[in-house]
Amino acid sequence: MTKVQDIEDFTGCTIGYVERTNLSFIDVPGQIATVVFVRGCSIRCPDCHNCELQSFDETRKTTVEAVVSKLNELELSQWICFQGGEPLDQADFVRTIIENLKPSFKVCIYSGYNMELVKRKHKALLALPNVRMIKAGKFLLKKRIYNKFLATTNQRVILKHQVGEDKKIQWDELDWINNSKEFIEEEVNKSCYEEVKEVKEIKEVKEVKEVKEVKEIKEIKEIKEIKEIKDIKKIKEIGEHVNQTCYEEKVY
């Protein structure tokens, strides 16, 4: 069994510890997510509800390739949510998985570390374009709150948005007061809205272009038909004139 002090050995590795993956409708409010439960945690909160995942069990060792292959086959989930155990104790392993996911996936990470440490020590992870939500903070039973997305008052959540024409990345932080599941769902949907809107606008521009092309083809066709009608009419007039001339000559 791997010791806690050996965690630094993960740096640069593509080997990590994963217990299981589950489909979830609650871990990212309003979204369908697949949760990746990594194994191993150095924080070891006394009141952890996944205490069985705190040890780095050698029988759960796996590769980035194996995890990515399984996740990229998913069609129902829009989000991949990393929980544990502690995902950031295997930050390099988790980051490598995320880098190789389908671009359409959005990523959420649950961590027991405080948000300041997460922001300071895991900038490369936060900079990945598909990492969209971080939920951070220990689970402390004495600070337990109910009917909220965050389980305790010390926990925090940040959501990534792309703002402005240059699509600058902005992290919006939500504290424990404003984090009902409905509120988080609204914020998550809002963060996804700009992407959907952009795709829709591109589609609309494409459709307008296609309509314009169809219209131009139709106009060209109509012009061609008018020309053909004129040509037929002209041929008919010439034919009538020839017939009339022949008739007059015959009468004469």
- Closest Cα to residue 132, out of 87, 97, 156, 162? 162
Per-residue pLDDT of 183-231, as tens digits, reads: 666 666 666 655 555 555 555 556 656 656 666 666 666 666 666 666 6
User: With 60 as the cut, is the pLDDT of residue 34 above it?
Assistant: yes
Lowest-confidence range among 55-64, 152-161, 174-183, 239-248?
239-248
Q: Is the pLDDT of residue 57 over 90?
A: no
> CB of 156 within 8 A of CB of 134?
no
Say how many C-beta atoms besides its own lie within 10 A of residue 115's C-beta. Answer: 19
10 Å CB burial of residue 28 (0-12, 13-18, 19+) is buried
pLDDT score for 6: 39
Total Cβ atoms within 10 A of residue 38 = 27
Grade residue 49 by pLDDT with cuts at 50, 70 and 90.
confident
The answer on pLDDT for 111 being more than 80 is yes
Render pLDDT for 70-108 as a digit per residue (tens, 0 to 9): 999 998 899 999 998 999 999 999 999 999 999 999 999
